[in-house]
Amino acid sequence: MDTRTGLPVVGMVGGGQLARMTHQAAIALGQSLRVLAVSPDDGAALVAADVRIGRHDDLAALREFAKGCDVVTFDHEHVPGDIIRALAAEGHTLLPGADALQYAQNKRAMREHLGSLGFPMPRWTAEDALAFADEVGWPVIVKTATGGYDGRGVFVAESPADIPEGVEVIAEELVPLRRELAAVVARSPLGQVAAYPVVETVQEAGICVEVLAPAPGLDEELAVRAQRLAIDIATRLGVVGVLAVELFETTDGRLLINELAMRPHNSAHWTIEGARTSQFEQHLRAVLDYPMGDTRLTAPAVVMVNVLGGEPGGMSIDERLHHLFAEEPGAKVHLYGKQVRPGRKIGHVTVLGDDMDDCRRRARRAARILEEGYEH
């Protein structure tokens, strides 16, 4: 406990935007969020008071970081499992634990384990990708087993020449896709679970660019099935904290598991303004074993659009904010304190309203002003 506040100290490994927004939620709860950042220029390190500098794969750094924390959690999945287990053996509480987190770290392990439990997934292989593609038909989706995110490590293989060599990969069939969905839940150590409305995620070049809450036109039975699927996964894997289950909705009405993330997730950033309890507060509640918060929407339609970095130069980000607020005063802006690089997520905007199409138009326009400058 923090002796100044009498409230728990949560440590978050990673200093990116997820830690930055978790810090925002921690302030309202009176908690002290300690951040392990690689650099003092990381997004969360720019705003948090208790920042330690160190790498996530350095046992000594994490051991020192964990001292005085009631619980340690993560803003990414890259902490090696043997380090998590070593710290747990020394008496530190790390959530989610290594036994659960391994299935968000390794796609092959995730596919094998979920398959053994009977969860629905695309047909896949980790063995002979060429023979598999000949069987199910080209093209196939090829993914590196570890390390991929935001479109990195994911390839559409049209021929054998497109399959990378020298890295462990899995190959998946190309499913008849209607759209992509995400079911986000949170689970506490005692097993209490809260589920958010199922959302539609829009991808471009493997990067999520837009999230629509709730997913437009989603059949109620299918939405409940998606939520139950996420709750079952969280329970069977023993996840503590936020779990995001990325799903394929196929043209023939099936739900297939695509990816898992055991941390706050891009598909639920909309919850900061769009839900009664944000995913960041919910994650803190979960790892501290507080009762879960209300997940209901605060408006009939919520749209979040990611802001991607463009080419350097031109109008400053401050000037763009002036124009954005003049043109779309209802848009809520979250900037991550990142250096701008083409295609990099530097923030997001959220718009709430009664009409989904109107919210999409306004949110897209707000994001475009931040990315490109004022539109005359």
Q: Which residues are annotated as a binding site?
A: 107, 143, 172-175, 180, 258-259
Quote the tokens at residue 76. 């990414």
Alpha-carbon distance of 347 to 64, in angstroms, equals 31
DSSP label at residue 363 = H
Number of CB atoms found within 10 A of residue 57's CB: 11
* E strand or H helix that includes residue 176: none
Point out the annotated binding site for ATP.
107, 143, 172-175, 180, 258-259
For residue 151, give both structure tokens. Answer: 């479109």
CA distance 208 to 149: 10
| Tokens (6 digits) for 73 | 């959690």
Instruction: Give φ, ψ of 334 to 5 degrees.
Output: -130, 110
Four-point Cα dihedral 259, 260, 261, 265, nearest 10: 60
How far is CA 159 from its chain centroid?
31
Would you state the structure tokens that stand for residue 64, as one six-digit string? 């020192």
Three-state DSSP at 82 gives helix
Q: How far is CA 49 from CA 44, 131, 311, 338, in A?
A: 9, 54, 32, 18
